[in-house]
Amino acid sequence: MTVSRRDFVKTSVLGAIATAAVSNPKDSVASTIATDQGHASQNDAKRPIIICAHNGYAYVEAAYAFLKSGGDTLEAGVRVVKGPENDPNDDSVGLGGLPNEEGVVELDACCMHGPTRRAGSVGGVRNIKNVSMVAKAVMEHTGHVMLVGEGAERFAAAMGFPRENLLTDRSRKIWMLWKEFNSDRDWWGPGIADPHWQAPAPSSKPQADLLRDRIDQLKQRAVDLGIEQQFLLSAVRRVLFPPTGTIHCSVLNEKGEMSGITTTSGLAFKLPGRCGDSPIIGAGCYTDQDVGSAGATGSGEENIKVAGAHTIVENMRHGMSPQEAGIDALKRIMRNYNGDMNKLRFMDMTYYVLRKDGAYAGVSLWEGYSAGNPHKIVVHDGTLRQVIATPLLKGYSQEWPPFPTIPEELKKDSEYLK
């Protein structure tokens, strides 16, 4: 059955959410933050260590070997993050990243090189997949720190980065699904002349049932668009909760040198030209090897407003542990909404924090997206492992747009939630 775009009945669900939301911020603050002061590196200070987001896991072992052999800290970070950039199946970064609202992939990245105290950044770059390396090239080959848009793309081409179409077939289909889902006010999707078009029926169903209907319709439409069976639920979830997937990596070597790097395709289906936190030095990444390095994945707009990575490094400069420093930045996000859980539950943030002595922490606003899927960071200090991030708030975030609950079958979408 073909489902018309006009079957996707828009519903206001804020009232239902308000009922379900935690009303007292204090009730929601995770108890762990008072006691756990973060992790020491397994071994002596200045043993090499790499920390990064979960999607870097497969690339850390080789980067760590490079670091141990005397490789540069920023180059080690590049070796981690360019893995997901090159992976067409990672739709949060580089090739195959989810596009903007016009179906065009736009990438952001920035880096800081501790030993030379330099930085580079690019925002809104089209047609070039390894924007982490372009950010590094801006740092190394220009007198600037940040290039954006067409100028950044032309610089990358001049530096020899190949131009290519970054929109994979799967990401294009997910974007089409999103277009059609949101198309009751535009001309995308099957129109009134389509033989399967049906006028939306007025409904007195409860909100949860309406959501269930919409998911069923989305799944059917995803089948119609040719999205493979194993990605149906991922596609539906991305349409309902546009992700802000990203990868950050911070690195420390035996000499005490540090670097940080962050790269992303940003918020899925964003307005063209939107830059999140990832290309903003001090928000998506900040490194001062006299103190430490930090980076972020999550709601870019919120992180920009608290200058998250810089705030964390400065907190450590003033004596906070990595975990205290990260939790403080999260509290600033909470303060920006006066602790209003009705709003905070629709954003999330994970900070990756590495101090110059090798102590590290992963902290997050919420425990994860759903029960059983906590936020994790990847750590390699001789042993490669994943560590559960310490949450500021008890419970699980839901991403924008708001819905009353995440249905169980979407929670099982482990491909997305890992």
* Per CB under 6 A, 246 contacts ligand GLY: yes
**Residue nearer to ligand GLY on the CB measure, 120 or 298:** 298
Single out the residue of 217, 234, 244, 293 in contact with ligand GLY (rule: CB under 6 A). Answer: 244
**Residue nearer to ligand GLY on the CB measure, 351 or 360:** 351
Q: Is the peptide bond before 88 cis (omega within 30 degrees of 0)?
A: no
- On whether the CB atoms of residues 217 and 235 are closer than 8 A, the answer is no
Helix (H) or strand (E) holding 147: strand 146-148
* Per CB under 6 A, 308 contacts ligand GLY: no
* Per CB under 6 A, 264 contacts ligand GLY: yes
CA distance linking residue 303 with residue 351, whole number of Å: 10
Which tokens hold the place of 405? Answer: 């609950």
Q: What is the DSSP string of 194-234?
A: STT--PPPP----HHHHHHHHHHHHHHHHHHTT--GGGHHH
Residue partners of 266: CB distance under 8 A and separation at least 6: 97, 106, 107, 108, 244, 246, 274, 275, 276, 278, 300
* Per CB under 6 A, 298 contacts ligand GLY: yes
Single out the residue of 267, 327, 329, 379 in contact with ligand GLY (rule: CB under 6 A). Answer: 267
* Per CB under 6 A, 38 contacts ligand GLY: no
**Residue nearer to ligand GLY on the CB measure, 189 or 308:** 308
Single out the residue of 94, 124, 260, 276 in contact with ligand GLY (rule: CB under 6 A). Answer: 276
Q: Of 73, 168, 244, 246, which one is the catalytic site residue?
A: 246
Q: At what angle do helices 169-181 and 232-240 cross, to 10 degrees?
A: 50
For the four alpha carbons of 52, 54, 56 and 60, in that order, the dihedral sign comes to positive
* Per CB under 6 A, 266 contacts ligand GLY: yes
* Count of positions on this chain that bind ligand GLY (CB under 6 A): 11
DSSP 396: B
* Per CB under 6 A, 297 contacts ligand GLY: yes
- On whether the CB atoms of residues 264 and 93 are closer than 8 A, the answer is yes
Footprint on residues 147-166 left by ligand GLY (CB under 6 A): none
**Residue nearer to ligand GLY on the CB measure, 41 or 246:** 246
Helix (H) or strand (E) holding 119: strand 118-125
CB of 377 to ligand GLY, least distance (A): 15
Told to judge if 297 belongs to the known catalytic residues of this protein, a careful annotator would answer no
**Residue nearer to ligand GLY on the CB measure, 350 or 390:** 350
CA distance linking residue 345 with residue 285, whole number of Å: 24
* Per CB under 6 A, 300 contacts ligand GLY: yes
* Per CB under 6 A, 110 contacts ligand GLY: no
Active site positions, annotated: 246
Write out the residues near ligand GLY by the rule CB under 6 A.
244, 246, 264, 266-267, 276-278, 297-298, 300
